[in-house]
Structure 1
Amino acid sequence: MPRTFLDHLAITAFSLESGTAFVADALGVSPQAGGEHPRMGTHNQLLRLGDTLYLEVIAPNPAAPAPGRPRWFGLDTLGAGSSPALSAWVARSTDIQATAAAAAEPLGPVESMSRGALDWLITIPADGSVPLDGVAPALIEWRADAHPASRMEDRGCALALLELFHPDPDRVSRLLSSLELDAPVSVRRAGPGAAARLVAHIDTPHGRRTL
């Protein structure tokens, strides 16, 4: 089975404006314009974190028709009062079908998606949730010669570490092992009564910042 690699992080927000402001405030760097996802009724902004890694701010697109299905990354659970948050991450494979079949946790059916000239395959649970209490990755396979991050403006940001906090860290570790993940990702035990969560440590022109 092919190894997987960290592809991108997702900041979910009720509006693209609030999510973009959240990232700009936390990192001192503003994302650049992205595009629209017609099948999901969402749109995004992007921040390069490396040649093959980026941060995505994603939100429902109020100008797009409702998708007739749950949106990805749990976006339909957000209301106007919801705060933007680092809610999901995506792992890249060159054979998404084989990787999904080998995963120790169900990550959802493989679906085709697009944004402008970009096309890819991605796993999306039917209910639009993020698996394993929000810490399991979606899988992606790009249908492109070059990674989209390579075409983004370099604003001096790089991921140092992604931490996955979960009440059952052994379960998370088994999943990452089954994916043969090669990435700066660490699994931590969530404290008593604490919910599962993601924490990203990002080097910026203003020093190391946390999302």
Structure 2
Amino acid sequence: MSYRIDHLVVSASDLEQGCDAMEALLDVEFGPRGCHAEMATENRLVAMKRPDGESAYLEVIAPDHAVARPEFPRWFDLDNFGGPPRLTNWVVACPDLEEAWELAPADVGRIMSFRRGDFAWRMIVPETGILPFDNCFPALIEWHSERPGPKLPDPGLILRRLKITHPEPDALRAALAPFVSAMENVRIVQGLTPGMTAEIGTPSGEIWIA
């Protein structure tokens, strides 16, 4: 089964503040606002190439404070997010989400269906909002429509590499073994605090986001 990095997620407490920070850092302009009614979140996207040259994207996401908070935890642990915008998650595209769910850790979550405009997808969302290994395990997505990446203007961003830090790197590597085809240019290292950083190639040079 072939898996690939679909996109990276930058979380923020406020969408426009998050986009302002990323636009200043990367010298790009994000696309228009989108919303996820089921999760009471809003986002903006910018196109980004994967290391193999195929399309991906970078997402800034935040709680949508204009709508009621859902009765269950929001995805990407946004209910507990605080501080400045930062890279919090990565998302892997799957051709068969049921099979991916079987291969993933037991606490990865439940399969949910979403639609926004022309886009339709299914995604595994954790019951607690927190993905396995302190959010270092990827969210898993299956697109039922065209993906956003090819529809976005291309500002010349390229994902060079993704570094994931975790206190139990060997256990994380074992959990990711079935998804090895998505691991090109992904490095897992030991560290006291879980987290991730990404090296992004831009027209102005290489930028690290964390």
* TM-score, normalization by structure 2: 0.92
Asked if the contact 1:36/1:116 (under 8 Å) is kept, the reply is no
Partner of 1:208 in structure 2?
206
Distance between the aligned counterparts of 1:168 and 1:4, measured in 2?
A: 23
The aligned length equals 204
1:98 shift after superposition: 0.3
1:74 alignment partner in structure 2 = 77
User: Could you list the runs of 4 or more consecutive aligned residues of structure 1 that deviate by over 3 angstroms after TM superposition?
Assistant: none
SS in 1 for 2:17: helix
Q: 2:93 is matched with which residue?
A: 92
Map 1:1-211 onto structure 2 (within 5 A): 2-50=1-49, 51-79=54-82, 82-104=83-105, 106-144=107-145, 146-182=146-182, 183-190=184-191, 194-211=192-209
1:8-48 Cα deviation digits (max 9, x unpaired): 10000110011101211221223221411010011101011
1:119-170 per-position Cα deviation (integer Å, ceiling 9, x unaligned): 11101111111321121001000001x3210000001111000111111111
After TM superposition, give the deviation of residue 104 of structure 1 in Å: 4.2
**Counterpart AA for 1:73:** F
Code of the aligned partner of 2:4: F
Cα 1:104/1:39, change in 2 over 3 Å: closer
CA contact (8 A) 2:119 2:147 kept: no
Stretches of structure 1 lacking an aligned partner (at least 5 in a row)? none
**Residue pair 1:13, 1:78 contacting (<8 A) in 2 also:** yes
Give the secondary-structure state (helix, strand or coil) at the position aligned to 2:134. helix
Compute the RMSD of aligned alpha carbons. 1.4
Q: Secondary structure at the match of 1:180?
A: helix
Asked if 1 retains the 8 angstrom alpha-carbon contact of 2:30 and 2:45, the reply is yes
CA distance in 2, matches of 1:25, 1:54: 17
- Alpha-carbon deviation of 1:181? 3.2
Percentage of identical aligned residues: 33
Equivalent position amino acid for 2:152 in 1: M
Encode CA deviations 1:149-199: one digit per residue, 9 max, x unaligned.
000000111100011111111111112212233332111111xxx311110
Distance in 2 between residues matched to 1:156 and 1:105, nearest whole Å: 38
**Shift of residue 105, structure 1, vs aligned partner:** 5.3
> How far apart in 1 are the matches of 2:36 and 2:112?
13
Cα distance between partner residues in 1 of 2:95 and 2:104: 15
Supply the AA of the counterpart residue of 1:44.
N
Whichever residue aligns with residue 72 of structure 1, its letter is: W
